[in-house]
Amino acid sequence: MAHRNNNGTTRCGSRALKKNRVSVEEDDYSSENQETQVVLSLHVSHAEDIDNPSHSTIPCDDRRYKVVVWVEPDNEYKSGKVYGLPNPKWNGRVNIKFGASLLRWGFLHVEVVGPGDKSEPGTSRGKSVSRTRIRLPKMNEEIKGRFGLVKSGGHGLKAEGYIILSMLLSQPTRHST
């Protein structure tokens, strides 16, 4: 059962992914103009074969990774940082609630973010190691598996590593207080 903590974390097990940005209050159920809501229950297990050690100036022992996921561009969730080159394990769970009209986006975006230093370009949240887009499941369908990651480099994208996760799309359940 999910529990929203005061620090913006949604827990569904031993670890959680933390909400990064919020555009609307997640628990707002006002009756006026209320759009039908859906919930994507996501479990990010681990990654395999990411971030070739020979492509960085950061020693392998100092590399920590996190996962950033989103359906809506302004509503990201991120994991805590873990060590584990080339196979970091997060075992993170989160319930991502969003309006059913956003199903038109059609994808879960997953980005593995690693360490960055002054000589390596990256985003404000770290260096993007690899990323992918995974089509959202149909209502009440579970999708799980090993999904290929791509990395920007040189003259385009190249395949590098995998992310192992599962997800289920469903109607939200209301909890009485």
Give me the pLDDT at residue 58, please.
Answer: 54
CATH of the domain at 133: 2.60.40.150
Q: Is residue 31 part of a domain?
A: no
- Residue 43 above 90 pLDDT? yes
Residues 126, 106, 169: CA angle, nearest 5 degrees = 95
CA distance 139 to 17: 22
Placement of tokens 């994808």 in the chain: 107
Preceding amide of 86 cis, omega within 30: yes
- Residue 146 above 90 pLDDT? yes
- Residue type for position 71: V
Q: Is residue 97 part of a domain?
A: yes
Q: Is residue 76 part of a domain?
A: yes
Q: Is residue 118 part of a domain?
A: yes
First to last CA, the chain: 14
Closest CA to 108 of 162, 70, 150: 70
Q: Is residue 2 part of a domain?
A: no
* DSSP one-letter code for 164: E
pLDDT digits (tens, 9 = 90+) for 126-144: 677 889 999 999 999 999 9
- Structural domain including 57 reads 37-170
Give me the pLDDT at residue 26, please.
Answer: 44
Q: Is residue 58 part of a domain?
A: yes
C-beta of residue 10 within 8 angstroms of C-beta of residue 94: yes
pLDDT digits (tens, 9 = 90+) for 23-40: 444 444 444 457 889 999
CA distance 172 to 61: 41
Q: Which two tokens stand for residue 8?
A: 């913006």
Number of domains in the chain: 1
Contacts of 6 (CB under 8 A, 6+ apart): none
CA distance 85 to 153: 19
Give me the pLDDT at residue 4, please.
Answer: 36
Closest CA to 106 of 43, 38, 172: 38
For the whole model, what pTM was predicted? 0.72
